[in-house]
């Protein structure tokens, strides 16, 4: 998919009482172009503030650096006290993949930040979790052991030399301490609501589902102990799940309070479903659930697909529909309103580009104006999105219908693929226009001196590469869109015309994208790269054309037309 990558960063600063200092740190972060500040959570007792911001990888990297730099200037660790363990002015700074970026790429961001912090600020840096330099440094608590007060001794221990920076207690280190930087999965804080006030039952339910498990008891209800006298535990149902049971006076009921440390391993829906079963055995009913903070959209999309499939419906539904199914099925409105536009992390930032966000009328009016963009490239991408949407629709109209039972699995899978393709094509509507704007900007650069002309040539080359690669990826993605149309063509016979239009829209997309690749190759200086681009474009267009011809001939025959062959 070509959706723009989004990274979350959650630095923890060792100041939770002085609002002026907190505001200066967050202002520095928020001033970085491309960063969206989501949450600032100060704690007086802990004397610690957890800041959450998101954006594109490079913007988040810069935001993290300026936050750490500002904290090192304003926070004096020699005077710091608080209930929470801490190692430095910026205690910990994790990068979290949200969309379109891998954990390893986030780990690389952590390494780049660590090097910059050590080199430019003089602060020793330890890496943890996915960025850890060796296994024993993965756990934050292990790395932070000894805290700020034990940092001098730690730096003298060769086994605890920092990953970046010198093992010296300089004046900067004395004031700012050390910082732990890493990459980890998104942590979801989540509560499951129970219809009981019995805390013991809530604690037992939590123990049965969490990774830590529950203490084993014998037939006489006595704790079973091992040879060393330690209580034996039976593991819980889920890994990457931490849970406790408690009574919430505000709600006059108990909850199972959960931290999902990797929802891709133990999902929201799987844990909620299992908790319902475990609670019922205790005579307790799960009435709903409560999200604390924000959630990645993917977690709710997974839940929506799960519950649709459980109903025998096609899970390849549009994202908004999947999210609404998840909200209802998880009971996220049990305790009050749940606005997905405020609670889903991707929706707190501009997830759709300016063209995609327009109404059909506004888009077509702009297209018909004298503005040079959007143009044919954006329209080609739109045709790809329409093709994929039609294929997904046919899947929805086929799954669960009498006479098509043997197609359920294939149509479900096809609709899921088509929905992903749709989102990628939509993103490239704006990407194509941005690529054109990049060429226009390069052409406007000064060319008065040899140095100016060299900068302009390089900028024009780089912009042209983007202007070639955007329609090329649209074209190559259309190969998959045609495959989706082929599956749709054997789906519900009442939707044959829709499958046919899906194929034709894909063909228009491919032809249009090929035109845009070709026109940008005209005069492209890198002959070898131009030849490679041309070969890829020609191959993809040939595959698409052949596939579309097969589909349209089949559908014409079925609808009473003549075989043109």
Token pair for 546: 């052949």
Give 131-139 contacts, CB < 8 A, sequence gap 24+. 131/106, 131/107, 131/181, 131/182, 131/183, 132/182, 133/163, 137/163
CB atoms within 10 A of CB 74: 18
Distance CA 167, CA 151 (A): 10
As a whole number of Å, the CA-based R_g of the chain is 28
Map residue 555 onto helix, strand or coil.
helix
Q: Is 337 an annotated catalytic residue?
A: no
Instruction: Name the one residue in this structure whose structure tokens are 């004046």.
Output: 171
Q: Which sign, positive or negative, has the C-alpha torsion 263, 265, 271, 272?
A: positive
Distance CA 398, CA 418 (A): 14
Q: How distant, in Å, are the alpha carbons of 2, 195, 253, 330 from that of 288?
A: 35, 9, 12, 6
Distance CA 172, CA 178 (A): 10
Q: Is 240 an annotated catalytic residue?
A: no
Helix (H) or strand (E) holding 74: helix 57-74
Given a contact cutoff of 8 angstroms between Cβ atoms, the answer to whether 153 and 146 are in contact is yes
Among the listed residues 18, 76, 80, 84, the single catalytic one is 84
**37 backbone φψ class: left, alpha, beta (φ>0; ψ -120 to 50):** beta
Residue 266, C-beta contacts closer than 8 angstroms, at least 6 positions apart:
238, 239, 240, 241, 260
Q: How far apart, in Å, do the first and last CA atoms of the chain sit? A: 36
Distance CA 471, CA 374 (A): 13
Distance CA 385, CA 423 (A): 7
Q: Which sign, positive or negative, has the C-alpha torsion 110, 116, 121, 122?
A: positive
CB atoms within 10 A of CB 133: 15
Distance CA 258, CA 272 (A): 10
Given a contact cutoff of 8 angstroms between Cβ atoms, the answer to whether 507 and 548 are in contact is yes
Given a contact cutoff of 8 angstroms between Cβ atoms, the answer to whether 491 and 453 are in contact is no
Instruction: Name the one residue in this structure whose structure tokens are 């491309």.
Output: 34
Distance CA 185, CA 7 (A): 11
Among the listed residues 273, 428, 432, 498, the single catalytic one is 432
Among all residues, which ones are annotated catalytic? Answer: 84, 432
């Amino acid at each position: 998919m070509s959706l723009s990558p989004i990274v979350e960063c959650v630095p923890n600063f060792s100041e939770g009482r002085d609002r002026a200092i907190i505001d200066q740190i967050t202002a520095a972060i928020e001033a970085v172009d491309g960063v969206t500040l989501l949450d600032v959570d100060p704690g007086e007792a802990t004397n610690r503030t957890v800041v959450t911001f998101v954006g594109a990888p490079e913007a988040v990297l810069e935001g993290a650096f300026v936050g750490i730099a500002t904290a090192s200037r304003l926070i004096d660790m020699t005077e710091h006290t608080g209930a929470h363990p801490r190692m430095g002015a910026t205690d910990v700074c994790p990068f979290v993949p949200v969309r379109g970026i891998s954990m390893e790429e986030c780990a690389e961001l952590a390494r780049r930040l660590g090097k910059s912090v050590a080199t430019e600020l003089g602060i020793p840096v330890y890496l943890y979790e996915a960025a850890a330099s060796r296994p024993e440094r993965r756990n934050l608590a292990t790395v932070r052991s000894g805290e700020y007060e034990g940092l001098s001794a730690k730096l003298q221990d060769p086994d605890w030399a920092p990953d970046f920076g010198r093992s010296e207690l300089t004046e900067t280190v004395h004031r700012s301490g050390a910082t732990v930087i890493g990459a980890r999965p998104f942590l979801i804080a989540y509560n499951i609501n129970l219809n009981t006030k019995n805390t013991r039952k809530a604690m037992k339910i939590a123990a049965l589902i969490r990774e830590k498990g529950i203490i084993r008891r014998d037939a006489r209800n006595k704790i079973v102990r091992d040879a060393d006298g330690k209580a034996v535990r039976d593991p819980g149902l889920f890994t990457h799940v931490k849970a406790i049971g408690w009574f919430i006076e505000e709600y006059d009921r108990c909850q199972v309070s959960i931290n999902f440390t990797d929802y891709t391993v133990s999902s929201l829906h799987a844990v909620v479903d299992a908790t319902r079963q475990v609670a019922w055995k205790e005579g307790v009913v799960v009435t709903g659930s409560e999200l604390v903070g924000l959630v990645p959209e993917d977690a709710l999309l997974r839940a929506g697909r799960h519950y649709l499939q459980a109903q025998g419906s096609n899970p390849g539904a549009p994202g908004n529909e999947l999210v609404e199914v998840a909200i209802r099925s998880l009971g996220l409105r049990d305790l009050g309103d749940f606005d997905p536009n405020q609670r889903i992390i991707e929706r707190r930032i501009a997830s759709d580009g300016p063209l995609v966000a327009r109404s059909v009328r506004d888009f077509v009016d702009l297209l018909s104006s004298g503005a040079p963009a959007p143009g044919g490239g954006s329209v080609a991408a739109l045709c790809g999105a329409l093709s994929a949407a039609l294929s997904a629709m046919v899947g929805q109209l086929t799954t669960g219908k009498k006479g098509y039972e043997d197609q359920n699995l294939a149509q479900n899978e096809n609709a899921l693929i088509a929905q992903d393709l749709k989102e990628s094509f939509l993103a490239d509507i704006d990407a194509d226009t941005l690529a054109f704007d990049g060429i226009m900007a390069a052409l406007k650069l000064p060319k008065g001196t040899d140095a100016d002309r060299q900068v302009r040539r390089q900028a024009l080359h780089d912009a042209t590469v983007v202007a070639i690669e955007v329609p090329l990826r649209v074209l190559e993605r259309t190969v998959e869109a045609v495959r989706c149309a082929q599956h749709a063509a054997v789906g519900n016979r009442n939707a044959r015309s829709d499958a046919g239009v899906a194929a034709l829209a894909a063909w228009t997309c491919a032809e249009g994208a090929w035109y845009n690749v070709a026109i940008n190759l005209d005069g492209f200086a890198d002959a070898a790269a131009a030849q490679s681009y041309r070969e890829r474009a020609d191959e993809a267009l040939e595959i698409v054309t052949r596939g579309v011809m097969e589909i349209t001939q089949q559908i014409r025959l079925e609808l009473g037309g003549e075989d043109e062959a």
